[in-house]
């Protein structure tokens, strides 16, 4: 695995850019994980304060010691840390801006879940089966923020709106993903933790990263 990019470091935390395909926490059957690989890179143990799905890329906070981990876990829970995600989806949403408030089942219990979204771009791609059939696939670029942080919340909420994230074979549309893999070469989950705002030195500091190469489809929608 390539070294994890560090965007910021102080005595308490790192702000890093996690690549897609890297699990955050090690476990059975996991060869590479952020908590182990990144610790080796920096030469000391690190502490997780929040998580991203394995296939989700982008910005994360990692603590340098247990006391900092406790502090930053509380800051994230108190909503003082703002996270903005960017998703490329197969489908269109009925409204360009709004919230999704459908409860989600987590560990056998119904939990409240709120996702705010803003449509960034709508575009289309044409899929051909190589014979006579041609299909137009609606695509949408969406910016999202979480009010709650349930497992797979963004993925499930968008799927329930018939606008699943491209490349999501767990909560999305497997058949449609096969078509998108052929026409757009999509092999990863199209979800990125793109923007992160957090309180540092008595002010709010914002970090933002460009989309990774596997999510850069500007040429398909630039003139739509």
The CA-atom distances, in angstroms, between 194 and each of 26, 61, 132, 145, 152 are 24, 13, 40, 11, 17
3-state DSSP assignment of residue 147: coil
Q: How far apart are CA 34 and CA 15, in angstroms?
A: 13
Asked whether 140 and 91 are in contact (CB, 8 A), the reply is yes
- Catalytic residue (one of 53, 120, 129, 168): 53
3-state DSSP assignment of residue 51: coil
Could you tell me which of 189, 195, 101, 196 has the C-alpha nearest to residue 150?
101
Q: How far apart are CA 90 and CA 43, in angstroms?
A: 41
Looking at residue 172, the DSSP 8-state letter turns out to be S
End-to-end CA, the chain: 37
Could you tell me which of 85, 74, 82, 9 has the C-alpha nearest to residue 41?
9
Active site annotation includes 53: yes
The CA-atom distances, in angstroms, between 171 and each of 30, 62, 124, 157, 161 are 21, 27, 21, 9, 12
| Enzyme catalytic residues | 53
């Amino acid at each position: 695995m390539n070294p994890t990019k560090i965007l910021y470091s102080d005595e308490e935390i790192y702000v890093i850019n996690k690549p897609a395909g890297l699990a955050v926490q090690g476990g059975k059957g996991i060869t590479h994980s952020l908590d182990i690989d990144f610790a080796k890179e920096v030469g000391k143990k690190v502490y997780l304060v929040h998580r991203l799905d394995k296939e989700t890329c982008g910005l994360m906070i990692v603590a340098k010691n247990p006391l900092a981990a406790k502090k930053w876990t509380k800051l994230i829970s108190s909503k003082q840390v703002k996270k903005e995600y960017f998703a490329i989806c197969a489908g269109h949403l009925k409204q360009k801006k709004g919230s999704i408030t459908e409860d989600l089942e987590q560990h056998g219990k119904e939990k409240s879940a709120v996702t705010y979204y803003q449509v960034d771009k709508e575009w289309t791609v044409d899929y051909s089966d190589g014979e006579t059939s041609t299909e137009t696939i609606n695509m949408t670029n969406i910016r999202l923020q979480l009010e709650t942080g349930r497992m797979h919340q963004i993925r499930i909420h968008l799927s329930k709106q018939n606008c699943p994230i491209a490349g999501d074979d767990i909560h999305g549309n497997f058949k449609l993903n096969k078509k998108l893999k052929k026409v757009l070469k999509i092999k990863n989950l199209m979800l990125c933790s793109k923007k992160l705002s957090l309180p540092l030195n008595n002010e709010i500091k914002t970090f933002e990263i460009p989309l990774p190469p596997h999510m850069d489809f500007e040429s398909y929608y630039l003139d739509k």
